[in-house]
Chain A
Amino acid sequence: MKSSHIFASGALALVIGTGAVLADPIRDAIDARQAQFTLFAYNIGPLVQMAQGDIDYDSEIAQRSADNLAALTHTHQDRHWPEGSDNASVDNTRALPSIWEDAEDFASKFADLRAATAAFQEAAGQDLASLQGALGPVGNACAACHDANRAEE
């Protein structure tokens, strides 16, 4: 009984140890940035639905969602985009190597998104027309970077 116990905990240690050896910082970074884009999409959802007339305009939800979008653009991005996490190097990412080849352009596109979400934050809570007017530039900022730096599905 005792010896089987020792054997079991040895096996367990081996499994955990192997897991630690296999920990993949590139994969972790990709998971983190994909989670970030999920947050973008989740917060822009009600704003798009209001702009399209699918749900009623609610200034409080609009303001809070726009606040979140703007806040997300202020997170530091450096650890989300390590070298070697492009779609030519690893699977399960659509991040094109252009992000690293022209890092300056990538940074400037992210800055464009920050500016568009800041303007949107000013407008979204005012009324529906203001929200609709300021949503376009946010979408354009998303699309500009997807155009340049994201592979087609």
Chain B
Amino acid sequence: MRRVIALLALVGLIALGGWVWLTRPVPLEEDALAGLEGDAARGEAVFWAAGCASCHAAPETEDEERLVLAGGQRFESPFGTFVAPNISPDPEHGIGAWDFEAFANAMLRGISPEGQHYFPAFPYTAYLRADPQDVADLWAYWQDLPHSEAPDAPHEIGFPFNIRRNLGVWKRLYMDDGWAVAGDLTEQETRGRYLAEALAHCGECHTPRDALGGLDRTRWLAGAPNPAGDGRIPDIRPGTLGWSQSEIAGYLQSGFTPEFDVAGGSMANVVRSLSQLPREDLDAIAAYLLRVEG
């Protein structure tokens, strides 16, 4: 009997050890950020391309207010409701006390300064493809953003999904740094792919997810149920959308569809961010979208 207990304890320990190993946060290599100097002026374009304000600006804000990353927007999902935190440079309520390494580990690895996993509502599964130089530029731009003293609201996530440590396994399954659209791309399409897949994270809403909430990359941008309930997030593959390159770019610039309708819903926030980019970047995103299969 004693041997059985000892054996069970051993099996338990091994399982625990395996879990600890599988779920551990894996930060950036020490030299990954070596020698990077951020340029705040370049960082502004990264800020709009990455859509930071689309989720982290307070609900229903416009224009200059969107630079105040006070948080508070709510994001429903099958796992519960995520509430965007304050990521303004306020040292107490936001992330002003972070250093660049902490910021880069959040963006590129989904790890907090305390070494915890972030929930993938924060789209680090896209940002992990970002050029570390862009992250450095973004962090330089961040320093002059307005401060907010808004307190964070807790996420409303039930057991077992609220155990962050388990996300280590999820990350092993879904942290894929490859490109969804492969093959020979022109320079413009390659730029568009970088903007769309690494920064603008179009796939986070427009690609369907599996039961564990991971993106089904075999149905890239094929549309998905709207996690907030109403309707569907549209299929934006060229065969379904049927818009020309200039119609897509024009839509991202002005928010008007080729029928001169105006986007509402969460896409209105996305357009508010993307419309700040130079037209050639929007043309590049459009060129990329026309290369998506389907």
Whether B260 contacts A147 by the Cβ 8 Å rule is no
Report the Cα distance A37→B201, complex, angstroms. Answer: 32
Is B64 at the interface (CB under 8 A from chain A)?
Answer: no
Is A128 at the interface (CB under 8 A from chain B)?
Answer: no
Q: Which residue of B lies closest to A48 (CB)?
A: B256
* Minimum CB–CB distance for B185 against chain A, Å: 25
Whether B262 contacts A52 by the Cβ 8 Å rule is no
Which B222-245 residues have C-beta < 8 A from chain A?
A: 226, 230-232, 234
Is A84 at the interface (CB under 8 A from chain B)?
Answer: no
Q: Which residue of B lies closest to A96 (CB)?
A: B230
Given contact pairs A139-B254, A140-B62, A147-B265, A44 touches B260 in the complex (Cβ within 8 A): yes
* Minimum CB–CB distance for A60 against chain B, Å: 20
Report the Cα distance A42→B256, complex, angstroms. Answer: 12
Is A91 at the interface (CB under 8 A from chain B)?
Answer: no
Is A45 at the interface (CB under 8 A from chain B)?
Answer: yes
Is A51 at the interface (CB under 8 A from chain B)?
Answer: yes
Residues of A within 8 A of B263 (CB): 143, 146
Which A107-151 residues have C-beta < 8 A from chain B?
A: 135, 139-140, 142-143, 145-147, 150-151
Is B246 at the interface (CB under 8 A from chain A)?
Answer: yes
- Residues 29-71 of chain B: 1 if any A CB is under 8 Å from the residue's CB, otherwise 0? 0000000000000000000000000000000001000000000
Whether B264 contacts A52 by the Cβ 8 Å rule is no
Whether A48 contacts B254 by the Cβ 8 Å rule is yes
Whether B230 contacts A151 by the Cβ 8 Å rule is yes
Which A24-58 residues have C-beta < 8 A from chain B?
A: 41-42, 44-45, 48, 51-54
A/B pair count, beta carbons within 8 Å:
51
Report the Cα distance A35→B272, complex, angstroms. Answer: 28
Q: How many residues of A contact B (CB 8 A)?
A: 21
Is A78 at the interface (CB under 8 A from chain B)?
Answer: no
Report the Cα distance A145→B265, complex, angstroms. Answer: 10
Whether A143 contacts B262 by the Cβ 8 Å rule is yes
- Find the residue from B246, B261, B263, B264 having the highest chain A CB count within 10 A: B264
Q: Which residue of A lies closest to B255 (CB)?
A: A139
Residues of A within 8 A of B226 (CB): 152
Residues of B within 8 A of A147 (CB): 264-265, 268
Is A101 at the interface (CB under 8 A from chain B)?
Answer: no
Residue from B232, B234, B253, B264 within 8 A of A146 (CB atoms): B264
Residues of A within 8 A of B264 (CB): 143, 145-147, 150, 152
Is B132 at the interface (CB under 8 A from chain A)?
Answer: no
Whether A52 contacts B268 by the Cβ 8 Å rule is no
* Minimum CB–CB distance for B75 against chain A, Å: 16
- Residues 262-284 of chain B: 1 if any A CB is under 8 Å from the residue's CB, otherwise 0? 11110010000000000100000
Q: Which residue of A lies closest to B260 (CB)?
A: A41
Residue from A48, A151, A152 within 8 A of B260 (CB atoms): A48
Q: Which residue of B lies closest to A139 (CB)?
A: B255
Residue from B246, B253, B268, B279 within 8 A of A143 (CB atoms): B268
8 closest A-B pairs by beta carbon, nearest first, are A152-B231, A146-B264, A142-B262, A41-B260, A147-B264, A143-B268, A52-B250, A48-B256
Given contacts A146-B264, A147-B268, 15 further A-B pairs with CB under 8 A are A41-B260, A41-B261, A44-B256, A44-B260, A51-B254, A53-B279, A139-B254, A143-B262, A143-B264, A143-B268, A145-B264, A146-B262, A146-B265, A150-B264, A152-B230
Sampled A-B contacts (18; CB under 8 Å): A41-B260, A41-B261, A48-B256, A52-B246, A54-B250, A135-B254, A139-B256, A143-B262, A143-B263, A143-B268, A145-B264, A146-B264, A146-B265, A146-B268, A147-B264, A150-B264, A152-B230, A152-B231
